[in-house]
Amino acid sequence: MLAVGGDPEPPLEGTGLVYEPKYDGIRALVEVAGGATPRVGIWSRNGNEKSGQFPDIVAALVEWGRAFDAVVVLDGEIVALDAAGRPQGFQRLQHRIHVSVPGYRSSKAILPPAEQPAALVVFDLLRFGDLDLRDSPLGERRQALEHLVDVHPFASGTLRLTEQHGDSGHALYARAKEEGWEGLLVKQVRSPYRAGKRSAEWRKLKLQNVDEFVVCGYTDPQGTRARFGALVLGVHEAAPRATRPRTRGTRAAPQGGPLRYAGDVGTGFSHAEIERLWTLLAPLATTTCPLADPPASLERRAHWVRPALVAQVRYAEMTDEGRLRHPAYLGLRDDKDAEEVQEPAPPRPGDSTRAKAGAGVQGAGLQGAGVRGPGTQAGLDAVIEQLTALEHARKNGRVTLPDGDTLDVTNLHKVFWPEGRRTKGDLLRYYTRISPFILPVVDNRPLVMKRMPDGVTGEAFYQHRAPEPVPPGVRIETLPDDDVPARLVGGSLKTLLYMAQLASISMDPWFSRMDALDAPDQVAIDLDPQPGATFGQILDVARWVRDVLERVGVGGYPKTSGSEGLHVFVPLPPGTPYQAGMLFCQIVATMVASQHPKVATVQRMVGKRKDGTIYVDYLQNIQGKTLACAYSARASAFAGVSAPLTWEDVDAGVAPQDFTIATMHARVGRVGDLWADLRVDPGADLLGAMERLR
């Protein structure tokens, strides 16, 4: 049984409704013949056998099946897990599956479970013994499933029972937005299980625009990329509403209408994925365009393939012409047939921003940033207006902050960045706009100031000690056993703007917080280019760092430095000593440098580093040392910002100049707070990572 999407959207409360998380994995029908020697089968919804790809799930089901002597049929979702055991997106599941086409057989081994764990999340019980439950209401099937799991519990986290909330989905919806889920499923308690059919009794409530598209061709590569530049995508046109065959409570199966051009996707590919895709595309080459009415410009630049592959793509929205905006490739689906891929349902009018899960400034990014409440954005706009008025008048003055507090500012017209004639006023306006996103980054952390009173071309000096006195409302703290009498501590808009007023262009927090100064909650690998090195080389080194981290089950979060380099942050669990975090970074850096000695180095002495190499620096992870934080402005000539990136950005290629104090706020409005996931990450299992390295 399949859920429908589109309008009308399901309500978040209602009698007779239940709400479940919508996972981004592979739908799985599972049969367990219990007994002394259980037999297990796993199939995707289009009938592909999946048992061989998930031996860990099969083993868990076999162990569970020894507890009862009956045949059980389950419906669920296979999901990839991160190092902390949390469900992840479909892209990570690509490492555990083969995608094949006629005439091609993959020679690549499936990634073992230890390197990419997975789990089966069960949400329905279709059969127990001789009892066929498909005609029973969902509420009764759920009770039977919960009773089965209560009597015969799942032995490990490899098997899980999905959450289900009745009558109201508001709390689950709030969690979905906070944690970045794909969405929710809203189901009618009375619904039977309609095998193989799509029914309005189950509905999708999407928070992200993620859909499937048919691969119809590819374009030539550009720059340093090999094989292809972008995939050409299509969707089967849906029949007009008036002509769609319908039955009560169901929607007819797709009929594979004409393929319509939906756009190209050229980001989200790793080097390994490009090579894998190329081996799949080559056998499908054809001179016949599979699209019904391709644009003339597309016909001149595209190479066509038979429409057999299905790509999963994340995107910002569909244009009125049916083209994807800001698409990113997530992976190939071998559990979905190209013939059934229809055009996505249009968003509800006036509600397109909701699909971005709070990507805008007035969305989730404001929560927990110390500037919450009705009229918050209006309050920030008012601060910006006051700063602009004082700068235009070339006057010093006092601005009123959203909470009613005030701050004295001076010399806003002073040029800090000669290139572009950007001023101190531009700096304070930038930090006001970006405050909902940078304040959680520096919250409760000691800060070091790098002051540049004469702008980026003048002399700079570091200041650890808080000025005396500081304005009321600016937080200062005395640290135990510290030679510095008092330090500034981040977390409030007033402290942020006060530091900018003192010409501290960048925000440089400690790796630990005030409540655990000896235990960092994050560490970083700093990629520092030597003379003659290119940013393309830095991106290559970042990908190699990611490869090592993925091998040991550790998540990495990349961001530009805002100048010429790039940082990869790794979250740590509570109580991790500084030395342990730095040792882990040292091992990762040394592995990268030893595997790629012509490009990467860990040589500490500057004079011994070769020109054109990238210094993989792990020594910033000493207590008291700092790096410019996410969303921090920088003293680069182009007024750069330390911009959080996705790994898709890194694979596609970016430039530091793409992210400045003039462009960063708009980017956050498009992509959301990319640093939010790091803040809620429980941290890397360093002991487990070391064991995997061994």
Q: What is the mean pLDDT of residues 214-221?
A: 92
Per-residue pLDDT at 7: 46
Per-residue pLDDT at 210: 83
Per-residue pLDDT at 359: 34
Per-residue pLDDT at 111: 63
Instruction: Say which residue, 76 or 367, is predicted with more confidence.
Output: 76
The residue behind tokens 């699209």 is 291
User: Which amino acid is it at 465?
Assistant: R
Beta bridge partners of residue 328, listed in sequence order: 314
Is a pLDDT exceeding 90 seen at residue 416? yes
User: Which residues contact residue 465 at a Cβ distance below 8 angstroms, ignoring those fewer than 6 apart?
Assistant: 484, 485, 486, 487
Instruction: Say which residue, 367 or 444, is predicted with more confidence.
Output: 444
Backbone phi and psi for residue 61, each to the nearest 5 degrees, phi listed first? -70, -40
Is a pLDDT exceeding 70 seen at residue 109? no
User: Which residues contact residue 433 at a Cβ distance below 8 angstroms, ignoring those fewer than 6 apart?
Assistant: 361, 380, 384, 665
Rounded distance, CA 243 to CA 245, Å? Answer: 6
Per-residue pLDDT at 532: 95
- Cβ neighbourhood burial of 616 (10 Å; 0-12, 13-18, 19+): buried
E strands within 7-147? 13-22, 26-33, 39-44, 71-80, 118-128, 131-132
Is a pLDDT exceeding 80 seen at residue 376? no
Query: Binning pLDDT at 50, 70 and 90, where does residue 397 land?
Result: very high
Nearest alpha carbon to residue 115 among 97, 99, 95, 90:
95
Rounded distance, CA 455 to CA 119, Å? Answer: 53
Beta bridge partners of residue 333, listed in sequence order: 310
Beta bridge partners of residue 299, listed in sequence order: none
Region of poorest pLDDT, from 8-22, 63-77, 383-397: 8-22
Per-residue pLDDT at 433: 94
Q: What is the mean pLDDT of residues 577-590?
A: 96
Is a pLDDT exceeding 50 seen at residue 243? no
Q: Regarding beta strands 131-132 and 71-80, do their DSSP bridges make them parallel or antiparallel, or are they unpaired?
A: unpaired
Is a pLDDT exceeding 70 seen at residue 345? no
- For the segment 528-559, what is each residue's pLDDT rounded down to a tens digit? 999 999 999 999 999 999 999 998 889 999 99
Query: Binning pLDDT at 50, 70 and 90, where does residue 98 land?
Result: low
Region of poorest pLDDT, from 624-633, 652-661, 675-684: 675-684
Q: Regarding beta strands 246-247 and 250-251, do their DSSP bridges make them parallel or antiparallel, or are they unpaired?
A: antiparallel
Is a pLDDT exceeding 60 seen at residue 6? no
Per-residue pLDDT at 13: 80
Q: What is the DSSP string of 113-154?
A: TTTS-EEEEEEEEEEETTEE-TTS-HHHHHHHHHHHHHHS--
pTM: 0.52
Q: What is the mean pLDDT of the chain?
A: 85
Per-residue pLDDT at 349: 34
Q: What is the DSSP letter of 276?
A: H
Q: What domains can you pick out in the chain, each with its CATH number?
A: 24-161 (3.30.470.30), 366-505 (3.90.920.10), 518-693 (3.90.920.10)
Q: What is the DSSP string of 583-601?
A: HHHHHHHHHHHHH-TTTEE
Nearest alpha carbon to residue 430 among 639, 638, 626, 628:
639
Percent of the chain at pLDDT > 70 equals 88
Is a pLDDT exceeding 90 seen at residue 582? yes
The residue behind tokens 């393309």 is 536
Per-residue pLDDT at 60: 94
Per-residue pLDDT at 439: 94
Is a pLDDT exceeding 50 seen at residue 371? no
Top-ranked range on mean pLDDT: pick from 52-61, 291-300, 566-575: 566-575
- For the segment 132-169, what is each residue's pLDDT rounded down to a tens digit? 999 999 999 999 999 999 999 997 889 999 999 987 88
- For the segment 270-321, what is each residue's pLDDT rounded down to a tens digit? 777 888 899 999 999 999 999 988 887 787 789 999 999 999 988 867 776 7
Measure the CA angle with vertex 501, ends 499 and 506; round to 5°.
50
Rounded distance, CA 12 to CA 67, Å? Answer: 38
Q: What is the mean pLDDT of residues 92-114?
A: 55
